[in-house]
Amino acid sequence: MTSKNKEILVSVKNLKKYFSVGSKSSLKAVDDVSFDIFKGETLGLVGESGCGKSTCGRTMLRVYNPTGGSIEYNGKSVHKLRGGELKAYNKKAQMIFQDPYASLNPRMLVSNIISEGIDIHELYKGKERQDRIYELLELVGLNKEHSNRFAHEFSGGQRQRIGIARALAVNPEFIVCDEPISALDVSVQAQVVNLLQDLQQQYGLTYLFIAHDLSMVRYISDRVAVMYLGAIAEITTSNELYTNPLHPYTQALLSSIPIPDPRIEQSRKRIVLEGEVPSPINPPPGCKFVARCSKAKDECREQRPELKEIKPGHFVACHLVK
Amino acid sequence: MSKKLLEIKDLYVSFDTYAGEIQAVRGVSFELNKGETLAIVGESGCGKSVTAKSIMRLNPEPPARFKGGAILFNDEDIIKKTNSEMRAIRGHKIGMIFQDPMTSLNPTMTVGKQIIEGLRKHKKLSYKEAKKIAVDMLKLVQIPNAEERFNEYPHQFSGGMRQRAMIAIALVCNPELLIADEPTTALDVTIQAQILELMKDLQSKINTSIIMITHDLGVVANIAQRVIVMYGGVIVEQGITDDIYYRSRHPYTWGLQNSVPRLDIVKEETRLTSIEGTPPDLFAPPSGCPFADRCEYTMKICRAKMPPFFEINEGHTSACWLNHPDSPKVDNPSRVRETGNSTENEVKKNDQQE
């Protein structure tokens, strides 16, 4: 995959998002993160809970204002958009949420949930609007009759489909999928992932796929970024990441995932990380991973490694990888 | 030979609700030997947690109701026990680890006090003796600074440490049986790996039997010796781990295996095979096979009659009509077989190298 000649859709530049906790300390949820998302691709963003992956996705959709840095969509900084341009961006970028139980308003009919965006952007009116709702429902594998029901009448997988229909209603170009499948059962996860892939092919959508399930991320993503404690540790194509992980954290993360095959699973050697993710409040200088890294050197404690391109398209932030 | 610790015979559990009777568990039978690790897999609502909680009698009764069957723990029927008899078993002979370490610890008690509660009650130890054992237990589950941590509250612990504390509570009385209800689902993968290693390590030290409830086939492959696959309130397949993974004879097990992408296989361009549809309604469970509506091999008999257990191999049984001698021959869908074969080859290769 040659990423050079592809068109950049979203460009995250030195993004920082700090939350203040108390008067003197700040929680550095996202600390100087940069990456690009190309048009039509799926970028997977993985990491453990608290690593800042959701904050990153939300900041891209202007849920948060960044503390520093910028996010450019088609070359324009999204946090500087105003008026008509802002409305246009809100239409182009949509989000699918993690919890299909909490993200649908229990007092609204499915048809109103889906059409809210259509009404705000005044895309369709009257009969056209009704047809569009039916079309969307059928697109995500539900049917017309479902439009006059409430969210509680649906199962988790069906609710997630409603969430997807809502995101698609305004013809977006870019969708942030924030752990869209982690609340679903295994057999239903595959249904939703297949649906997301079909829609991507049909409409040429660009996804930022946030998840902690690395095997699913590998399956759906073209490129994968691994985050640790607010910083990107490694970013490359998904096959390269899984066959040739360079950052010690990526290696440990990959080896901790159990493989559903008893012989492989019971015979393989595991890198079990000691300890837990340290607090992102006032993190120490130097590499974020240094406290749990078995290969850490003095250099790692003093200076934070930059994200360097080791091979074409393979970026790693580690002093030890050269 | 290994001795039987637990035997469940034809267990039926229902919940009486205003909307009607939910038949959550419908005729489940299995055995557990001493020192064995058994995994129960299935989707949410398949009855796996209800079965496990029945062993501890933790389902609130009512609405839960035992409709039939027996749970023999050391040859005594758990269902016939009174509340006070159960209290002598819970936490003493049987320990349990719950899914969510955030909500299952008492926030108003120090972690230490929660650990020694069982010791004081069941073993009649003095505070001092109990504290010594509890601190040792905290060390055993690898909590650093155990003596200081003993006096801390659950909110001062991180998620992984809370789960360790819960394991300490469950194991402190040296139970004969440990029930782990999705113990790692709420944890991150690196912490999950730590906890699984810890559980295996402790099992070899204390020699307790484990029932592991999970929906993660990877976790099962890591820890279990035997696997039970449940669907719609019944067991659909059971056998030793290798039989279930490499020689499964039930379409639901195939579906489960094929719907998870594999990390160790180079990215396939093919689609994931999903199991279409949703699990059956347990208010009115089907009279035939519960999986018939979602199964691609459904025959007439599947809807009419519940399949019996066909014995495939010693200890490997599958409740599917496809295993009847008169039914059409259906093989495992390719991917399962391929991976099975490839691993067998790999194992052979490794053997040769050695």
Question: What is this model's ipTM?
Answer: 0.77
Among B residues 32-91, those touching chain A with beta carbons less than 8 Å apart: 43-44
Closest-CA residue of chain B to A47: B188
Q: What is the pLDDT of residue B342?
A: 44
Q: What is the pLDDT along chain B (354 residues), one digit of tens a residue?
A: 467 889 999 999 998 888 888 888 998 999 998 888 999 998 888 888 889 889 988 888 888 888 888 899 888 888 888 888 888 888 888 999 888 877 888 999 999 999 998 888 888 888 998 999 899 888 888 888 888 889 999 888 877 888 888 888 988 888 889 999 888 877 788 888 888 888 888 888 888 899 999 888 888 888 899 999 999 889 999 999 888 888 888 888 888 888 887 776 665 556 777 777 777 888 888 888 888 888 888 888 888 888 888 888 888 998 888 888 877 777 776 554 444 444 444 444 344 443
pTM of the model: 0.83
DSSP H/E element including B342: helix B334-353
Among A residues 209-268, those touching chain B with beta carbons less than 8 Å apart: 212, 214-216, 218-219, 238-239, 242-243, 252-267
Q: What is the pLDDT of residue B63?
A: 87
**Cβ-based neighbour number of residue B151 at 10 Å:** 11
Strand partners, B226: B38, B240
Closest-CA residue of chain B to A238: B267
Q: Which residues does chain A have within 8 Å of residue B276's beta carbon, measured at their own beta carbons?
A: 191
Q: What is the CA radius of gyration of chain B?
A: 22
Q: What is the pLDDT of residue B210?
A: 92
Find the mean pLDDT for residues A6-16: 90
Using the CB atoms, write b or e for B245-254: b if 16+ within 10 Å. bbbbbbbbbb
Chain A interface test: which of B189, B276, B338, B354 (most A C-beta within 10 Å): B189
Q: Which residues does chain A have within 8 Å of residue B190's beta carbon, measured at their own beta carbons?
A: 48, 252-253, 256, 272-273
Q: Which residues does chain A have within 8 Å of residue B145's beta carbon, measured at their own beta carbons?
A: none
Beta-carbon separation of A190 and B242 below 8 A: no
Q: Which residues does chain A have within 8 Å of residue B339's beta carbon, measured at their own beta carbons?
A: 261
Beta-carbon separation of B189 and A48 below 8 A: yes
Ramachandran region, residue A286 (left: φ > 0; alpha: ψ -120 to 50; beta: rest): left
Closest-CA residue of chain A to B193: A256
Beta-carbon separation of B245 and A238 below 8 A: no
On the question of pLDDT at A2 being above 60, the answer is no
Q: Which of B193, B260, B347 sits opposite A260 (nearest CB)?
A: B260
Beta-carbon separation of B190 and A48 below 8 A: yes
Find the mean pLDDT for residues A69-88: 90
The distance of B90 to chain A (nearest Cα, Å) reads: 30
Q: Which residues does chain A have within 8 Å of residue B188's beta carbon, measured at their own beta carbons?
A: 48-49, 212, 277
Using the CB atoms, write b or e for B179-200: b if 16+ within 10 Å. bbbbbbebbbbbbbbbbbbbbe
Q: Which of B216, B245, B267 sits opposite A238 (nearest CB)?
A: B267
Chain B interface test: which of A263, A274, A294 (most B C-beta within 10 Å): A263
- Answer for the pair B260, A260: CB distance below 8 angstroms, yes or no: yes
Q: Which among A119, A110, A215, A103 is positioned nearest to A170, based on CA atoms?
A: A119
Q: What is the pLDDT of residue A11?
A: 92
On the question of pLDDT at A94 being above 70, the answer is yes
Identify residue A205 by its one-letter amino acid code. L
Find the mean pLDDT for residues A109-114: 92
The distance of A187 to chain B (nearest Cα, Å) reads: 5
Q: Which of A194, A197, A256 sits opposite B192 (nearest CB)?
A: A256
On the question of pLDDT at A296 being above 60, the answer is yes
Q: How many Å apart are CA A32 and CA B275, to the nearest integer?
A: 42
Using the CB atoms, write b or e for A204-215: b if 16+ within 10 Å. ebbbbbbbbbbb
Q: How many Å apart are CA A191 and CA A243, to the nearest integer?
A: 26
Q: What is the pLDDT of residue B265?
A: 64
On the question of pLDDT at A180 being above 70, the answer is yes
Query: Helix or strand or coil: residue A142?
Result: coil
Q: How many Å apart are CA B238 and CA B236, to the nearest integer?
A: 7
Closest-CA residue of chain A to B262: A215
Find the mean pLDDT for residues A115-131: 91
Q: Which residues does chain A have within 8 Å of residue B259's beta carbon, measured at their own beta carbons?
A: 186-187, 189-190
Q: What is the pLDDT of residue A284?
A: 75
Q: How many Å apart are CA A204 and CA A171, to the nearest integer?
A: 11
Residues whose CB falls within 8 Å of the CB of residue A183, separated by 6 or more in sequence, listed in order: A98, A99, A100, A101, A156, A160
Q: Which residues does chain B have within 8 Å of residue A186's beta carbon, measured at their own beta carbons?
A: 43, 215, 217, 256, 259-260
Give the pLDDT band (50/70/90) at residue A119.
very high
Q: What is the pLDDT of residue B267?
A: 55
Give the pLDDT band (50/70/90) at residue A210.
very high
Helix axes A156-168, A126-139, angle to 10 degrees: 130
Of chain A, the end-to-end C-alpha distance in Å amounts to 22
Among B residues 205-264, those touching chain A with beta carbons less than 8 Å apart: 215-222, 241-242, 245, 255-257, 259-264
3-state helix vs strand vs coil in chain B, percent to 5: 40, 25, 40
Give the pLDDT band (50/70/90) at residue A262.
confident
Q: Which of B271, B278, B344 sits opposite A155 (nearest CB)?
A: B278
The distance of B191 to chain A (nearest Cα, Å) reads: 7
Q: Which residues does chain B have within 8 Å of residue A53's beta carbon, measured at their own beta carbons?
A: none
Q: What is the pLDDT of residue B277?
A: 75
3-state helix vs strand vs coil in chain A, percent to 5: 35, 25, 40
Beta-carbon separation of B189 and A256 below 8 A: yes
What percent of chain A has pLDDT above 70? 98
Beta-carbon separation of A259 and B218 below 8 A: yes
The distance of A193 to chain B (nearest Cα, Å) reads: 8
Among B residues 268-327, those touching chain A with beta carbons less than 8 Å apart: 268, 271-276, 278
Beta-carbon separation of B218 and A243 below 8 A: no
Decide if A279 touches B, using CB distance below 8 A: no
Beta-carbon separation of A259 and B221 below 8 A: yes
Q: How many Å apart are CA B354 and CA B352, to the nearest integer?
A: 5
The distance of A266 to chain B (nearest Cα, Å) reads: 6
- Answer for the pair A236, B281: CB distance below 8 angstroms, yes or no: no
Beta-carbon separation of A187 and B275 below 8 A: yes
